[in-house]
Amino acid sequence: MSGSSKIPSSEITPEETFLNRRFFMKSAIWAGSSVATAGLYRAFAPRPEVASVGSVITSVAEPAVQSVLAADEKINSFGEIAGYNNYYEFSTDKSEVADKARNFVTNPWAVEVGGLVQSPRTFDLEELLKMESVERTYRFRCVEGWSMVIPWVGFPLAKLLAKVQPMSQATHVAFETYYDLKQMPDAGSAGIDLPYVEGLRLDEAMHPLTLMATGLYGKTLPNQNGAPIRLVVPWKYGFKSIKSVVKITLTDKEPPTTWNLANPREYGFYSNVNPTVDHPRWSQARERRIGESGTRETFMFNGYAEQVASLYAGMDLRTHF
């Protein structure tokens, strides 16, 4: 300690101050590191549950349809349905979509219906919301392996198509989602080509189960669920049920579909729910019902085989997956 003895005693930090300073430093490091770690965790943790901001849909004609669920199946809560969404235009994090889509403008809105039809026209939202609606509780099975039960409000797509009178050459229907990088700033990193496009065969589109949904739980659709109007095809994987539709085109050939374009080996045009045909990277035999622990069996055509199996009579569903 010969060197330090040369320092004038007035400059030596008193031991008490020194220990205090160390205590202060240590506490600051403790606090700073824990706040940083907890903050990082929070940044990636699921968001709190959302509440409905929709208005009541008054055009529901039928009383709530008796749902065709098994005795042990429960309708999912609004929070589950509106807080866990695949809507890549807003975010690829399902719990984040509700927040990112909060300010999405869905009114005014117009849906252009054209192509091979006798009387092409554009429907504005007001008119669509006035269409006689029905309440339909459907199973919703995502290709990722989870599922929900959702009480939709909407009208059969067949009713809309009847208004434009498809021509006899029309064999398919193509759909397109609204796309706008100003309102959807994260859409560029979604990893899929946008605008999102989907398609159905005309007989699938005309099937009475195929719905244009404008609401859920009796109120207009939350933005994150595809407001103001979306397709719902309950026997197909969820990505076929295209959201926030702005364009419907009747064609005479199979239209391109977004996930099929992104990865044709994994996502086919039909994408019917089928427990016997696995996704190349995971099994489709079982599903995780949101809100339940454990998994349950996946049904052929998502449990709607009785109504839709005839559409695919004679087809090899392994090649037409």
The contact pattern for other proteins, residues 191-210, with x = CB under 8 A and - = no contact, is xx------------------
- 3-state secondary structure at position 118: coil
Q: Least distance to other proteins from the beta carbon of 133, Å? A: 26
Question: Using CB under 8 A, which of 78, 87, 88, 155 touches other proteins?
Answer: 88
Contact 175, 248 (CB under 8 A): yes
Dihedral of alpha carbons 90, 77, 302, 134, sign: negative
How many residues belong to the site for other proteins (CB under 8 A)?
41
> What are the residues facing 230 on neighbouring strands?
213
Residue among 22 and 320 whose Cβ is closer to other proteins: 22
**DSSP readout, 175-229?**
EEE---TTT-GGGGGSSS-SS-EEEEEHHHHTSTT-EEEEEETTEEPPGGGT-S-
Q: Least distance to other proteins from the beta carbon of 19, Å? A: 11
According to DSSP, residue 314 is labeled: T
Do strands 245-251 and 110-115 pair parallel, antiparallel, or not at all (unpaired)?
parallel
Question: Using CB under 8 A, which of 62, 165, 282, 306 touches other proteins?
Answer: 282
Q: Least distance to other proteins from the beta carbon of 37, Å? A: 5
Q: Please report which helix (H) or strand (E) contains residue 163, including its range.
A: helix 157-164
Contacts of 237 (CB under 8 A, 6+ apart): 141, 142, 143, 271, 272, 273
Q: Least distance to other proteins from the beta carbon of 46, Å? A: 3
Question: In the numeric block, which tokens belong to residue 291?
Answer: 């809100």
ω before 195 within 30° of 0 (cis)?
Answer: yes
Residue among 28 and 105 whose Cβ is closer to other proteins: 28
Residue 229: CB atoms within 10 Å: 26
According to DSSP, residue 73 is labeled: -
Contacts of 9 (CB under 8 A, 6+ apart): none
Question: Using CB under 8 A, which of 281, 314, 316, 319 touches other proteins?
Answer: 281
Q: Is 73 in the site for other proteins (CB under 8 A)?
A: no
Contact 233, 257 (CB under 8 A): no
Four-point Cα dihedral 271, 101, 281, 296, nearest 10? -70
Residue among 26 and 121 whose Cβ is closer to other proteins: 26
Residue among 263 and 276 whose Cβ is closer to other proteins: 263
The contact pattern for other proteins, residues 97-116, with x = CB under 8 A and - = no contact, is --------------------
Helices and strands per DSSP (H, E), number in the chain: 8, 12
Pick the stretch among 53-61, 64-72, 268-276, 285-293 that binds other proteins (CB under 8 A).
Answer: 285-293
Q: Least distance to other proteins from the beta carbon of 11, Å? A: 19
The contact pattern for other proteins, residues 204-243, with x = CB under 8 A and - = no contact, is ----------------------------------------
- 3-state secondary structure at position 102: coil
The contact pattern for other proteins, residues 132-171, with x = CB under 8 A and - = no contact, is ------------x-x-------------------------
The contact pattern for other proteins, residues 2-41, with x = CB under 8 A and - = no contact, is -----------------------xx--xx--xx--xx-xx
Pick the stretch among 8-16, 154-162, 173-181, 282-290 that binds other proteins (CB under 8 A).
Answer: 282-290
What is the contact surface with other proteins in residues (CB under 8 A)?
A: 25-26, 29-30, 33-34, 37-38, 40-42, 44-48, 79-80, 83-84, 88, 92, 94-95, 144, 146, 189-192, 262-263, 278, 281-283, 288, 290-291, 294-295
